[in-house]
Amino acid sequence: MSVKRKISSHPYIPNSVPEVKAQMLQEIGIKSAEDIFGIIPDHLRFKGELNLPEAIVSEYELTKHVEELLAKNKNCKEYLNFLGGGCWQHYVPAVCKTIMERDEFLSAYVGEAFADHGKWQAQFEYASCIAELVDMDMVNTPTYDWAMACATTVRMASRITGRNQALVATSISPERLACIKNYAFSIVPDIVQVKCDPHTGLMDLEDLKAKISSKTACVYFENPNFFGVIESQAKEISRIAHENGALVSVGVDPISLGILAPPSHYGADIVCGDVQPLGIHMYAGGGLGGFIATPDEPKFVAEYPSLLFGITPTIEPGEYGFGEVLFERTSYASRDKAKDFLGTMAQLHGIVAGVYLSLMGPQGMREIGETIMYKATYASRRLGKIKGVKILFSAPHFKEFVVNFDGTGKTVKEINKALLQHKIHGGKDLSVDFPQFGQSALYCVTEIHSKKDLDYLADCLEKIVS
Amino acid sequence: MGIVKIRNFHQAHWDEPIIFELSTPGLRGVIPPAPEEEIKNEIGDVLASVPGAIRRETPPALPELDQKSVLAHYLKLSQETLGSNICNDISEGTCTMKYNPRINEELVNLPGIAEVHPWQDEETIQGLLEIYYRFEQFLKEISGMDRFTLQPQGGAHAVFTAASIMRAYHRDRGEAGKRTEIISAAFTHPCDHASPATAGFKLIILPPGENGYPTVEAVRAAISERTAGMFITNPEDTGIYNTEIDQFVKMIHDAGGLCFYDQANANVLLGIARAREAGFDLCHFNIHKTFGTPHGCSGPGLGAMGCRDFLAKYLPYPTVEFDGAKYFLDYNRPHSIGKVRQFLGPMGVLLRAYAWIMTVGREWMKEVSEISAINHNYLQKKIQDLIPEVEVPYAKGRRRFEEARYSWNKLTEATGVGTDDILRRVGDFGIQHYWSSHHPWVVPEPMTLEPCETYRKEDLDEYALVLKKIRDEAYENPELVKNAPYKCAAHKRADEASLDDPTKWATTWKAYLKKFGKK
């Protein structure tokens, strides 16, 4: 793989130059690093050499090696992509990339708000932009992803209400459901799913009414839901929850919020979602970051596990400074007595989402929402006209929709294999997670798809199923 | 040898407004694509299908700016941030702030990863799965564990994953309500207490003995039939290697518990000592520390969590497998704890770390640890030679490995200048403010420095000279140090209490305007 060679020092390890190393050992007063490691009992020492590949010390050779590996992937520039479901292909503006690439942000960590002032301000501005989008006053520094964000809201709701059951819509992402079940388990062991109306794709309100009780800490649903369906009964769901003393947590795709009402307007107490659509590439699922927003009331604020960056004056008149709000809540301050835990999460992605929202502004967010709505609606109509293919769920959808292939006699797996021959990544196969919907797939259409792309998809599908 | 000097530094100080204050209605930063006319004509008013109650009535009050203004604003903010690729960031001890190679940023932005969807057909992500698989083999070799998951996005997340696995293990043995206690140590990272607590465990946190870690007797006394396991670091944040670690592990095992090794401080143990030889059942690496990937202002990171064979069935799904010809994902894992994050994990971090290991390779891996240890011991000697007030409590006479928890207590007693003042003052010399300690401070007036392998001898010399200068200032002009910094992007906070006051705190511009009105 690599060209074997002797080098006088490794480019990443400057003190590996033998003369420097020797001088340092002499100044310490030891002969070798073994004089430091010698304290490790012999039976705990690793003997021999690690069985790792030989070093590729040449940057060019490393690049070739990684390029060869990545060439085995069929990326979404080469292939048309219709996969979404929590990681979406959107256009990433150049300025977002430039800022994400800055070494200052990229390689900073937990520096204080003096020498890392810019990082704190960028993070505060990110939270401020999300706050406008969801129309709520308190926003966290991002957690790992939407799944951990919604699971966190369930724990927050449990602590606020003192209850230990959560009602969760069936129409949420199965991966997010799996995270909720594991993450919330210790205080919310009882996760009950509320049915989805098989015709409209909306929540079955009768089922909600039957299941909600004085044990319910919160009702969690997504809007648009995992199937792309716009939950138009949101206000009614909130009313039912509140009547029973439960909180309402809503997961939302932030790129929809230029045209769809923010959940706070239909009764949500807590809002969460993912920042990935806001100027961050998919990175094979690596581009995620979860936001949480609530009213700016102590009963909510006290239950966040996240760092909360607050604006505060400095000793220099007129200067903005920043600091941690209610730091004692966090596990950095209070360890096992804290509200859950925190750590290295997804702050860089938060900063980039702030850049994106500042570039887009209110007009851009409205326009992109409309564009996505137009294109997804066009695609679903086009596909719905193919013989044997039908669009499940009658309610309006945003960005994603469920295509059923039962009438074609073919499985989604077969269809997707055939689509690959046409250089298309077909929609996510739902037949395992949602067998009740037969051979169905979740298709995602965003602003990056042209009419030509959508027509090509429809033409290919037509050929495959006929 | 390169030059060593105390810098006459001044950070960029742009006095930059909050971005909302730069807004002018009508300005546009970027224009998104529009739907084609044919589509518009065919669909008509697409928003008409959205029920009124769910339609946005008032646009979000986002800032409105031209593109150059947005770029300039964020470039200014970046200049007001001291990333570790720029400055001498020996400061953030326990964080392993090493060089994050530029080439890895280029690699991660290749379309072969940046433009890949994680749910693509396995055939179309063979390169990604191969990198995942190969990286797992590297970590198995480095730790001696049998399997790894790369799903968690940070260290605390990996620790939570381990706690979830312990919970499932005891449940399957019919001891769910019985094994409720986790034993840990005071100098172990806070997440080793918070993450198991989040998973439902009660923590028993043992104080340090004279060597800086709990005594064998203290561990024995804490063990009972309620013991679910132990979460511990070695070396802990003191940099002291626990020579009795395998005895701790054996005692916990004998009592029916499991042992998790937090390897956040693994940078000094690569090819030196492993989790397996000490008997651990589970461990994790902070990939964004030890394996050279950027910290990103605190994420995304990667908390790779490993375990022995008998626990592998509990790992989050999917795992990545290889049948000799192709790589595939295994979702059929009925004993799995489920998921801790969507998809496969932070794959961008994985790719960078893979490239880092390939660059270091077997020839240089141990050198990383040796130089880390030499760098630390050199810096400690420099500091203690120059500054007699600095102490290194616990384990007298024992060498620290990759970092130390120093104490400024003597200086504080003599001058009234404390570590919180000194750490601000170092910023005036172009050095990131240093890490004192996690809470609660066990060591008085603490300072924790970690000069990992990517720093030059000159960086260490400069750092020690800066600390000496501040020590002298503490005697000559304590107020100077107490009111620092002066030459950083921002000054000392004027009202710490406001951050705990609901009438004054504001985490968003919206909340700020409501509480303080427009400036």
Q: What is the pLDDT of residues A91-150, one digit of tens each?
A: 999 999 999 999 999 999 999 999 999 999 999 999 999 999 999 999 999 999 999 999
For the segment A201-225, the average pLDDT, to the nearest whole number, is: 98
The answer on A338 and A238 residing in a single domain is yes
Cβ–Cβ contacts within 10 Å for residue A316, how many?
A: 15
* Window B:357-416, CB contacts with A under 8 Å: 357-371, 373-375, 377-378, 381, 398-399, 401
Q: In terms of residue numbers, what domain contains B437?
A: 368-496
Residue A170: the pLDDT is 98
For the segment B288-295, the average pLDDT, to the nearest whole number, is: 98
Q: Which of A13, A327, A332 sits opposite B454 (nearest CB)?
A: A13
- Sign, CA dihedral B450-B263-B200-A294, equals positive
In a domain, B60, yes or no: no
Residue A425 has pLDDT above 80, yes or no: yes
Residue B518 has pLDDT above 90, yes or no: no
Residue A3: the pLDDT is 55
The answer on A276 and A259 residing in a single domain is yes
Nearest CA in chain B to A155: B198
The token pair at B26 is 């009508």
Angle in degrees, 0-180, between the axes of helices A18-28 and B347-386, rounded to the nearest 10: 50
Residue A312 one-letter amino acid: T
The answer on B375 and B338 residing in a single domain is no
Residue A5: the pLDDT is 77
Residue B389 to residue B408: CA distance in whole angstroms: 7
CB A209, CB A243: distance < 8 Å: no
Residue B315 has pLDDT above 80, yes or no: yes
Interchain proximity A124–B194, CB inside 8 Å = no
Point out the domain boundary residue: A335, A356, A377: A356
Residue B84 to residue B105: CA distance in whole angstroms: 15
Per the structure, how many domains does chain A have?
Answer: 3
Point out the domain boundary residue: B290, B322, B356: B356
The answer on A172 and A288 residing in a single domain is yes
User: pTM of this prediction?
Assistant: 0.98
Q: Does B322 touch chain A (CB under 8 A)?
A: no
CB B281, CB B144: distance < 8 Å: no
Distance from CA of A31 to the nearest CA of B (A): 11
The answer on A176 and A292 residing in a single domain is yes
In a domain, B483, yes or no: yes
Burial class from Cβ neighbours inside 10 Å (0-12, 13-18, 19+) for residue A292 reads: buried
Distance from CA of B415 to the nearest CA of A (A): 22
In a domain, B18, yes or no: no
Per the structure, how many domains does chain B have?
Answer: 2
C-alpha dihedral, B483 to B489 to B494 to B497, nearest 10°? -120
In a domain, B350, yes or no: yes
The answer on B387 and B309 residing in a single domain is no
Residue B134 to residue A200: CA distance in whole angstroms: 45
The answer on A212 and A305 residing in a single domain is yes
Residue B519 has pLDDT above 70, yes or no: no
For the segment A239-264, the average pLDDT, to the nearest whole number, is: 98
Residue A400: the pLDDT is 98
Interchain proximity A13–B367, CB inside 8 Å = yes
The answer on B322 and B409 residing in a single domain is no
The answer on B264 and B128 residing in a single domain is yes
In a domain, A8, yes or no: no
**Mutating which of B157, B298, B403 best tests the A interface, going by the most A Cβ atoms within 10 A?**
B298
CB A397, CB A231: distance < 8 Å: no
The answer on A124 and A86 residing in a single domain is no
Which pLDDT band holds residue B74 (cuts at 50, 70, 90)? Answer: very high
pLDDT tens per residue, range B493-503:
999 999 999 99
Q: Would you give the distance in Å from CA B26 to the centre of its chain? A: 41
Interchain proximity A287–B485, CB inside 8 Å = no
Residue B467 to residue B475: CA distance in whole angstroms: 13
Residue percentage of chain A with pLDDT more than 90: 98
In a domain, A75, yes or no: no
For the segment B368-372, the average pLDDT, to the nearest whole number, is: 98
Q: What is the mean pLDDT of chain A?
A: 97
The answer on A322 and A371 residing in a single domain is no
CB A89, CB B472: distance < 8 Å: no
Residue B327: the pLDDT is 98
Q: What is the DSSP letter of A258?
A: T
pLDDT tens per residue, range B183-208:
999 999 999 999 999 999 999 999 99
Return the CATH number at A423.
3.90.1150.10
In a domain, A140, yes or no: yes
Cβ–Cβ contacts within 10 Å for residue B326, how many?
A: 12
User: What does B358-394 look like in DSSP terms, one character per residue?
Assistant: HHHHHHHHHHHHHHHHHHHHHHHHHHHHH-TT-B--S
pLDDT tens per residue, range B414-464:
999 999 999 999 999 999 999 999 999 999 999 999 999 999 999 999 999
The answer on B327 and B273 residing in a single domain is yes
pLDDT tens per residue, range B235-251:
999 999 999 999 999 99
Which pLDDT band holds residue A6 (cuts at 50, 70, 90)? Answer: confident
- The alpha helices in B36-119, defined as continuous H runs, are 37-43, 67-79, 102-108, 111-114
Return the CATH number at B119.
3.40.640.10
Instruction: Identify the three-state secondary structure at position A165.
Output: strand
For the segment A425-450, the average pLDDT, to the nearest whole number, is: 98
Distance from CA of A463 to the nearest CA of B (A): 20
The answer on A107 and A49 residing in a single domain is no
The answer on A35 and A107 residing in a single domain is no
Residue A417: the pLDDT is 98
Residue B195: the pLDDT is 98
Query: Is the ipTM above a cut-off of 0.95?
Result: yes
Residue A391 has pLDDT above 80, yes or no: yes
Point out the domain boundary residue: A325, A340, A356: A356
Considering only CA atoms, which of A449, A124, A89 is closest in space to residue A312? A124
In a domain, A9, yes or no: no
Q: In terms of residue numbers, what domain contains A448?
A: 80-90+360-465
**Peptide bond preceding B235 in cis form (omega within 30 of 0):** yes
Distance from CA of A296 to the nearest CA of B (A): 7
Distance from CA of B233 to the nearest CA of A (A): 15
pLDDT tens per residue, range B391-414:
999 999 999 999 999 999 999 999
Q: Which of A235, A327, A335 sits opposite B194 (nearest CB)?
A: A335
* Window B:274-303, CB contacts with A under 8 Å: 274, 277-278, 286, 288, 292, 294-301, 303
Residue A314 has pLDDT above 70, yes or no: yes
Residue B1: the pLDDT is 82
The answer on A346 and A367 residing in a single domain is no
Q: Which of A39, A232, A361 sits opposite B62 (nearest CB)?
A: A361
Residue B141: the pLDDT is 98
Residues of A in contact with B59 (CB under 8 A): 258, 362-363, 365-366
